[in-house]
Structure 1
Amino acid sequence: MVFFKFLKSRLSQFMTKTNRLVVLRHGESDFNIENKFCGWHDAPLSDFGVQEALTVAIPALEQSQLEFDVVYSSVLSRSRQTAELILSKLNCAYVPIKEDWRLCERHYGNLTGFNKRKIADRYGEAQVQAWRRGYDCVPPPIEESNRYYYTICSNPIFDEVPPGQFPLAESLHMCVDRVEPVWKEVKREVLQGSRVLMCVHGTVARALVQHIEGISNDDIEKVNIPNCVPRVYEFDLNTGGLIGSAINLGDQEYIRRKTAQVAAIGD
């Protein structure tokens, strides 16, 4: 009897089915180069951002032999463009991309378009870091005098945003709440066996990390996501639970250096 119980236990282990989810922040944008708050402004990838997708994300995905059935992106071009580059170079351009406005970067309000260092010089580093990383700290709402106000508010890519839900500024907490229903949809797909890549933005990636890993509000403020580094999660399809910790694919020294760069206010 003991032997049969042992055999049943071993067979159960072998029969456990798993599936992986990959979360990836888009490549560097034009606003990243200029160290500007970007948010809902539709800044394209920079030339370096394209190279990040080609030389950082794609080799890491290829070496891990990861394949995808569906990709999620936001409606912002830097997210979609990164996804398209990855699928093209992995020879799976046929994989559908699901765009969702709820996966847009958090809205940085009236900080949009301003250099982070200049804002820090004006308001102090502590205040800027609170706006950047504080869980419940909301930046000043974008005003009509902001040069990007009308290009954001009249951009047709946001036509699917329901009335009353178009933000003028968001905290990390607000972004976490906005992303939650999309994450629930994605998790259902993952647990049904779909291989999913989420090609998103820095704060959205952090929001997903909180939902997936159950990180506290205080601890998520300290999480920083470098561009184009695939973050891989493995799920048990029988229990729906997360197996182990997230794995960041690629050169670990490069990832450490880029993570520190993201955390800093910059020049």
Structure 2
Amino acid sequence: MSILVLVRHGKTEWSSQNRFAGWADAPLSATGEQEARLAGQSLAAAGLRFDLCCTSYLSRATKTLEILLEELGQRDLPVERSWRLNERHYGALQGFNRAKMALQYGNDKVAAWRRSFTAEPPALPDGDPRLPCLDPLYAGIDPALLPRGESLEQAAARVAPWWRDFLAPRLGQGENVLVVAHTSSIRGLVREIEGLSGEEAAGFRIATALPVVYTLDAGLNVAGRRELTAGWSSRLRKFINKHKPGTRISWI
């Protein structure tokens, strides 16, 4: 048996500004740091220990992981970083306020780009400074692999090889692994773990800094799944996350 814990990063400064973050390096807010600290405390209270931790290239995830490890007393744990764990790339929407994009493109269209499994947002054009291939952080990666914009389906497909080639073998060896990433990359992992359809994957949600704990057998079948909450704030985030409006509203 092995344990896999999935944690979405804490709230960011861009969250309060209602902006599309995607691959932009939106920093954690003070609230997000506190959310991460409470999540780490809930992991420690549950007696969880890890052999390895994984995260994306984006600082909101790496900072969340740093706080979790501090609370767990495992700051020396090996860290595997992968660009495949980044959030979905929102293309030309990235950095802009959601409500303004709904006014510009129409609510239904932006809602589809956000919630439909297959709809693709407008791609970044050549020369756009937001292109990952122009960012030194991704200099060692084949530019052909780096997105200009992604649907939920494309983001999930980006995560699948990482699950297959890296994470699944480690879990198959009985290791306990902590992954701190983003809604879309976690969605991709959950799709692989639970065998979700495209429609089911599109409906997947995870609250900020709310650990989801999987117990997996030797065949990586799910033997157990639970969410850890610590105090009223995480319970409130869990409630709000599960009762958000559906696909018709694009700016929340």
Same fold (TM over 0.5): yes
Matching residue's letter, 1:190? L
**Cα separation, 2, equivalents of 1:23 and 1:200:** 8
For structure 1, the residue ranges without an aligned partner over 5 or more in a row are: 1-17
Q: How big is the alpha-carbon RMSD for the aligned residues of Structure 1 and Structure 2?
A: 2.0
2:24 aligned with 1:47: no
Query: Cα deviations across residues 168-197 of structure 1 (Å, max 9, x unaligned)?
Result: 111111111110111122111012021101
Q: 1:90 matched to which residue of 2?
A: 72
2:47 aligned with 1:32: no
Report the equivalent of 1:162: 142
Say yes or no: does 1:234 pair with 2:243: no
Give the whole-Å Cα distance in 1 for the aligned partners of 2:238 and 2:146: 34
Q: Is the 8 A contact 1:76 1:157 kept in 2?
A: no
Greater shift in the superposed pair: 250-259 or 105-114: 250-259
| 2:184 is the counterpart of 1:203 | yes
Q: How does 1:93-172 map to 2 (within 5 A)?
A: 93-143=75-125, 149=130, 152-172=132-152
Counterpart residue identity of residue 220, structure 1: A
Give the number of aligned pairs. Answer: 245
Mean CA deviation greater in 31-40 or 122-131 = 122-131
The amino acid of 1:162's aligned partner reads D
Report how far residue 254 of structure 1 moved: 3.7
CA distance in 2, matches of 1:226, 1:262: 14
For the pair 1:188 / 2:186, whether they are aligned, the reply is: no
Q: Whole-Å Cα distance in 2 between the matches of residues 28 and 95 of structure 1?
A: 24
8 Å Cα contact 1:143-1:149 kept in structure 2: no
In structure 1, give the amino acid aligned to 2:226: I
Structure 1 193/262 Cα, relative in aligned 2: closer, same or farther at 3 Å? farther
- The answer to which of 70-79 and 115-124 deviates more is 115-124
Moved more, 65-74 or 117-126: 117-126
Q: Choose the corresponding residue for 1:248, options 227, 230, 235.
A: 227
Q: Any idea what SS the aligned residue of 2:88 has?
A: coil
Note closer, same or farther for the CA distance 1:254–1:141 as it changes in structure 2 (3 Å cut): closer
| 1:212 aligned counterpart, secondary structure | helix
Label 1:208 to 1:44 Cα distance change in 2 as closer, same or farther (>3 A).
same
Distance, in Å, in 2 between the alignment partners of 1:254 and 1:24 is: 13
In the superposition, the TM-score normalised over structure 2's length comes to: 0.90
Specify the alignment match of 1:63 in structure 2: 45
Counterpart Cα distance in 2 of 1:223 and 1:59: 25
Instruction: Tell me whether 26-35 or 252-261 shows the greater mean CA deviation.
Output: 252-261
Contact persistence 1:29–1:44 (CA under 8 A): yes
Match of 1:15 in 2: none
> Identity of aligned pairs, percent?
35
- Once the 2 structures are TM-superposed, how far is the Cα of residue 261 of structure 1 from its aligned partner? 5.0
Offset at residue 24 of structure 1 (A): 0.7
The alpha-carbon distance between structure 1 residues 258 and 135, as it changes in their structure 2 partners (threshold 3 A), is: closer
TM-score, normalised to structure 1's length? 0.85
Gapped runs of 5+ residues in structure 2?
Answer: none
Structure ID, larger Rg: 1
| Amino acid in structure 2 at the alignment position of 1:172 | L
User: Does the 8 Å contact 2:41/2:71 carry over to 1?
Assistant: no
In structure 1, the partner of 2:204 is 223
Of 257-266 and 45-54, more deviation after overlay is shown by 257-266
